[in-house]
């Protein structure tokens, strides 16, 4: 199974290689301008840079050509883009709101639009979200709003792409889970289960990993 992660931390991409031989990741050098490189992660080795990309440049077809030339498809695309500032409504400036909107919502749209033709029928998309989308946990107005928009995006994708049997689900994680010492391992475990091809009936869902705390 080929996995494409976008903007995963090296930790998550690296951990995925314990289960999958071919893990690719889009790492951004300049998120706000949609620029970065595609890397391949191989267990126990340093990631290998394959090609650069510029999502905002319509003329830039280097990634497309490279994928076509190497005949690459991605069975699973994992969206782990995240931008969290931690500001209340009054503290959030217009610029900060726009930055969060761009990273948490515009970029996933651009990437999925660009890569969807490289996802085979029966493939899938998984978005990593946060329980803040539902609880609006005090502390980041933009993040709560944009993650909740992302959950609706996943539902739209699951409806639209179901004709190609492509599934789209969300894994919603509480901030506490990320902070737990074995939190990343639990997240990877859930990702692995969701990726499992035997889970073909799991579609359009939000799976929450929060130790029940969202229902406070």
Residue 110 vs 202, nearer CB to another protein: 110
Mask for 105-134, x = binds another protein (CB under 8 A): xx--xx-xx--x---------------xxx
Contact status: 141 vs another protein (CB under 8 A): yes
Q: Quick one: which of 94, 182, 201, 216 contacts another protein (CB under 8 A)?
A: 94
How far CA 197 is from CA of 25, 158, 167, 194, 203, in Å, comes to: 21, 16, 10, 8, 12
Q: Quick one: which of 39, 140, 174, 195 contacts another protein (CB under 8 A)?
A: 140
Residue 180: CA atoms inside 13 Å, Cβ hemisphere, count? Answer: 14
How far CA 159 is from CA of 64, 85, 168, 201, in Å, comes to: 26, 31, 9, 13
Contact 38, 51 (CB under 8 A): yes
Q: Quick one: which of 70, 89, 179, 212 contacts another protein (CB under 8 A)?
A: 89
Q: Which long-range contacts (CB under 8 A, 24 or more apart) does 155-162 make?
A: 155/204, 157/112, 157/125, 158/203, 158/204, 159/204, 161/116, 161/125, 162/203
Q: Which stretch binds another protein (CB under 8 A): 64-72, 120-128, 137-145, 172-180?
A: 137-145
Residue 150 vs 173, nearer CB to another protein: 150
Shortest Å distance, C-beta 147 to another protein: 6
Contact status: 144 vs another protein (CB under 8 A): yes
Q: Which stretch binds another protein (CB under 8 A): 41-49, 119-127, 142-150, 191-199?
A: 142-150
Q: Which residues bind another protein (CB under 8 A)?
A: 88-90, 92, 94, 97-98, 101, 105-106, 109-110, 112-113, 116, 132-138, 140-142, 144-161, 204
């Amino acid at each position: 199974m080929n996995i494409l992660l976008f903007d995963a931390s090296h930790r998550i991409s690296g951990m995925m290689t314990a289960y999958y031989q071919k893990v690719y990741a889009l790492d951004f050098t300049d998120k706000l301008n949609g620029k970065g490189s595609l890397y391949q992660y191989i267990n126990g080795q340093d990631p290998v840079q394959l090609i650069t990309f510029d999502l905002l440049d319509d003329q830039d077809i280097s990634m497309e050509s490279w994928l076509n030339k190497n005949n690459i498809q991605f069975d699973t695309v994992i969206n782990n883009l995240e931008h969290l500032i931690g500001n209340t409504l009054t503290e959030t400036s217009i610029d900060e709101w726009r930055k969060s909107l761009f990273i948490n919502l515009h970029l996933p749209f651009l990437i999925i639009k660009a890569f969807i033709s490289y996802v085979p029928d029966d493939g899938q998309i998984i978005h990593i979200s946060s329980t803040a989308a539902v609880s609006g946990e005090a502390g980041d107005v933009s993040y709560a709003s944009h993650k909740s928009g992302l959950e609706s995006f996943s539902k739209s994708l699951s409806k639209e792409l179901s004709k190609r049997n492509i599934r789209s689900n969300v894994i919603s994680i509480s901030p506490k889970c990320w902070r737990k010492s074995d939190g990343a391992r639990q997240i990877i475990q859930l990702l692995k289960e969701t990726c499992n091809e035997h889970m073909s009936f799991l579609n359009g869902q939000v799976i929450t990993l929060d130790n029940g705390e969202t229902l406070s």
